[in-house]
């Protein structure tokens, strides 16, 4: 049996999930990415913990954080991985000082609780697809055809500790929810 993995993320409103899903529809019609993220699983990761035997200390530390809710604006699609066969398709968010501050607070609390986290720079995104199909080479011209014409803004209202369940849909289960302060 696979060991459960955990991560802290911003949850997304149903309206935002529907917006992203609507933007994704035309892409799903072709043989592009092998796996599509289930819309209920859309989120913006702040800190990936991996497997954990004891969550109490990190839940306590993150649960005591105070941070205001704040707006975020989606910025369009991008990819991670090799140029001609990306491994991740994502919807980005515009730069936000409040998002980076919140991520730093959550990240720091996780490290204080003893977790060794990824040291790569924070690149905020919402993963929507995985593993380019390799039927043909990926091009940015292909991706540009699907960029949303409008921008969608939503309010970040809570940080959630999720547990992964790779064998079911949705894959992610909320374990703890930490509300952000309303303005």
Question: How many helices and strands in the chain, by DSSP H and E?
Answer: 4, 9
Backbone angles phi, psi at 103, to 5 degrees: -60, -40
Q: Is 43 noted as a catalytic residue in this protein?
A: yes
Q: CB 113: neighbour CB atoms within 10 A?
A: 18
Catalytic residue among 125, 140, 152, 165: 125
Name the DSSP letter for residue 181.
B
Cα–Cα distance measured from residue 107 to residue 4, given in angstroms and rounded to the nearest whole number: 20
Which string of DSSP letters, residue by residue, matches 130-161? EEE--SS---HHHHHTT--SS--EEEE-EEEE
Nearest alpha-carbon partner for 48 in 177, 162, 179, 129:
162
Q: Is 140 noted as a catalytic residue in this protein?
A: no
Catalytic residue among 5, 43, 67, 140: 43
Backbone angles phi, psi at 33, to 5 degrees: -100, 145
Cα–Cα distance measured from residue 159 to residue 151, given in angstroms and rounded to the nearest whole number: 23
What is the C-alpha end-to-end distance of the chain, expressed in Å?
44
Q: Are strands 172-179 and 158-164 parallel, antiparallel or unpaired?
A: antiparallel
Residues designated as active site? 43, 125
């Amino acid at each position: 049996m696979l060991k459960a993995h955990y991560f802290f993320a911003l949850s997304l409103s149903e309206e935002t999930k529907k917006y992203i899903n609507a933007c994704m529809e035309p892409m799903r019609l072709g043989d592009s990415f092998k796996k599509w993220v289930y819309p209920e699983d859309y989120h913006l990761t702040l800190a990936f913990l991996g497997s954990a035997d004891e969550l109490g200390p990190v839940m306590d530390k993150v649960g005591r954080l105070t941070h205001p809710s704040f707006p975020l604006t989606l910025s369009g699609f991008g990819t991670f991985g090799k140029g001609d066969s990306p491994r991740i398709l994502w919807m980005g968010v515009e730069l936000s000082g409040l998002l980076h501050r919140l991520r730093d607070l959550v990240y720091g609390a996780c490290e204080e609780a003893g977790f060794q986290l990824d040291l790569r720079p924070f690149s905020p995104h919402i993963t929507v697809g995985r593993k380019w199909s390799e039927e043909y080479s990926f091009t940015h011209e292909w991706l540009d055809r699907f960029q949303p014409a409008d921008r969608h803004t939503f309010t970040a209202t809570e940080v959630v500790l999720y547990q992964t369940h790779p064998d079911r849909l949705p894959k992610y289960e909320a374990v703890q929810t930490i509300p952000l302060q309303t303005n």
